[in-house]
Amino acid sequence: MKLKKLPNSTIIRLSLYSRYLTEVDRKELTLISSLDIAKGIGVNPASVRKDLSYCGDFGTKGVGYNVKDLRNHVIKILGLNSEWNVTLVGLGNLGLALSTYKGFQERGFVINRIFDTDSSKIGSISNGIQVFPAEQMVDILREKPSDIGIICVPMSVAQATADALVKSGIKAILNFAPVSLKVPPEVSLRNVDLAVNLEILTFNLSIEELTDSLIARSF
């Protein structure tokens, strides 16, 4: 009902809250205020309260939030109280790094299938995850579906990979290839473009020089 309308920015922050609350919980603190959370992750305290109240009344006026309760609740909202099966496509350097990434396991994400076109990679890798030939992907995933697909293939085959994942019935895709993929509306898609992130930084770095050259250029 109301949940469907959670702003995207709120969902991102909920994920940050859950991460932060896990950290706070480890320090054996039992209570936390919206101000503490806000300072901890660098946002406005009003945002924190608003975000949290979207999910129901979990705080106590004049007191704050119970760390464990709040953490459990946020984790439940994000769907992290159950395990998620993840399929990785493309076992290059980045794919390999992601397949062993501890941060995923800690949050309940289990990469349990890997697909690649390179026949020399087919078999079992160190991490214990089996590597299958990409041609068999649709069949294998139809037989035993995955929740999420991670695309780590070169950009030239990224759209075809996405199409295959969709065909296999996957409902969520995390894309690391630097292309804008087209997927049907019922499939959730997130893009992590590493170069784009660096380019935002260089924009900031070069504002001064740029301003000068722009002035020269446009008059």
By a kind-dependent CB cut-off of 5 to 8 A, residue 138 interacts, out of a copy of itself, DNA, none, with: none
Closest distance of CB 48 from DNA, Å: 8
Minimum distance, C-beta of residue 74 to DNA, in the bound complex (Å): 12
Between residues 158 and 164, which has the closer beta carbon with respect to a copy of itself?
A: 158
Query: Of 85, 181, 91, 170, nearest to 133 (Cα)?
Result: 91
**Rounded-to-10 torsion of CA 208, 210, 214, 216:** 70
Q: Which one of a copy of itself, DNA, none is in contact with 216 (Cβ closer than 5 to 8 A by kind)? A: none
Q: Which is nearer to DNA, 53 or 213 (CB)?
A: 53
Q: How far is the CB of 21 from DNA (least distance, A)?
A: 13
Residue 84, CB half-sphere, CA atoms under 13 Å: how many? 21
Q: Cα(53)–Cα(179) distance, rounded to whole angstroms?
A: 36
Find where tokens 């030239």 sit: 156
Cβ atoms of 122 and 134 closer than 8 Å: no
Cα distance between residue 87 and residue 129, in whole Å: 10
Closer CB to DNA, 5 or 102, in the complex: 5
Q: Least distance from C-beta 32 to DNA, angstroms?
A: 7
| Cβ proximity to a copy of itself, 136 vs 206, nearer residue | 206
Which of 8, 135 has the CB closer to a copy of itself? 8
User: For residue 27, what is the DSSP state?
Assistant: T
Is the distance from CB of 150 to CB of 174 less than 8 angstroms?
yes
Give which of a copy of itself, DNA, none residue 85 binds (C-beta under 5 to 8 Å, depending on kind): none
| Chosen from DNA, a copy of itself, none, partner binding at 133 (C-beta under 5 to 8 Å by type) | none
CA-based nearest residue to 141, from 166, 116, 123: 166
**Distance in Å, CB of 14 to DNA, minimum:** 11
Q: How far apart are the first and last CA of the chain?
A: 55
- Enumerate binding residues for DNA (CB under 7 A): 7-10, 32-35, 43-47, 49-50, 52-53, 57-65
